[in-house]
Amino acid sequence: MSPATRHHILSVLVENKPGVLARVSGLFARRGFNIFSLAVAPTDDPTRSRITIVVDVESAPLEQITKQLDKLINVLQIDELAPIDAVERELMIVTVTVTAESKPELLSLTEEYSGVVLDEAGDRITVSLGGTPEALDAFTARMGAAVVAYQRTGRIALPRIV
């Protein structure tokens, strides 16, 4: 994400029906908005799903995309979550190469990030970490060239309890 643009988190409550995700993502594509990350799953109410979308746009086009999203019949509610008003988490699984020297460091770092080891063979270890997106960024940065592959879920978020 370039520093010139600000990321926005949209928490979109939708009907849990076939094709709804396609409607939402299709709208972004058609109106020329780039999705940075997207996470979707049913909520506590199984007839509803929550889509957490991170977009990197200026605020004026964000207003437009929000209004267009709101026109979709299956979209029930849209909340823009300013990072300060939201709790955010993201899950990452990452495979790194380790040596005899670096392995303890990795394990202690994993522990520091409340992660767990998922898999291990030869000189490779796969760990899972949950945290704020910034924390995950910091973890991969510290691993540097040792990272073989990683997969992140995209962030999920809820408004802070006020």
Partner 1 sequence: MKTNGGAALIKALELEGVDVIFGLPGGAILPVYDPIIDSPIRHILVRHEQGAGHMAEGYAHATGRPGVAMVTSGPAATNIVTPLADAYMDSVPMVVITGQVGTAGIGTDAFQEVDTVGITRSVTKHNELVTNAADIPRIVREAFHIATTGRPGPVLIDIPKDLVDPTNPNSALDWYWPDSVDLAGYQPRLDGDPALIKDAAQLIIAAERPVIYAGGGILKARAAESLLALAELLDIPVVTTLMARGAMPDDHPLCLGMPGMHGNYTAVTAMQESDLLIALGSRFDDRVTGKLDAFAANAKIIHVDIDPAELGKVRRPDVGITGDCRLVINELLTALKQIGAPEVQPDRSTWKSTISGWQEKYPLAYVQSEPGDLLKPQYVLEQLRDNTPDDCIVASGVGQHQMWTAQYWKFQHPYTWINSGGLGTMGFSVPAAIGAKVGRPDRMVWAVDGDGCFQMTAQELVTAAAERIPVKIAILNNAYLGMVRQWQEMFYEERYSEVYLSPDLPDYKMWAEAMGCVGMRVEAPEDVLPAIQRANEVDDRPVVIDFRTDAREKVFPMVPAGKSNSDIVVGPEDVR
Which two structure tokens, joined as six digits, stand for 33? Answer: 């908005």
Q: Segment 30-49, which members bind partner 1 (CB under 8 A)?
A: 30
Taking CB under 8 A as the binding criterion, the range among 3-11, 49-57, 64-72, 124-132 that sits at the site for partner 1 is 64-72
Residue 15 binds to partner 1 (criterion: CB under 8 A): yes
Q: How many CA atoms lie within 13 A of 59 on its CB side?
A: 3
Strands (E) across 6-139 are located at: 7-15, 35-42, 48-56, 75-81, 86-97, 116-121, 124-131
Binding partner 1 (rule: CB under 8 A), the pick from 21, 35, 76, 148 is 76
What span, in angstroms and rounded, lies between the C-alpha atoms of 134 and 33? Answer: 23
Nearer to partner 1, 71 or 121 (CB): 71
Kindly list the residues in this chain that would bind partner 1 in the complex (CB under 8 A): 14-15, 18-19, 22-23, 26-27, 30, 60, 63-64, 67-68, 70-76
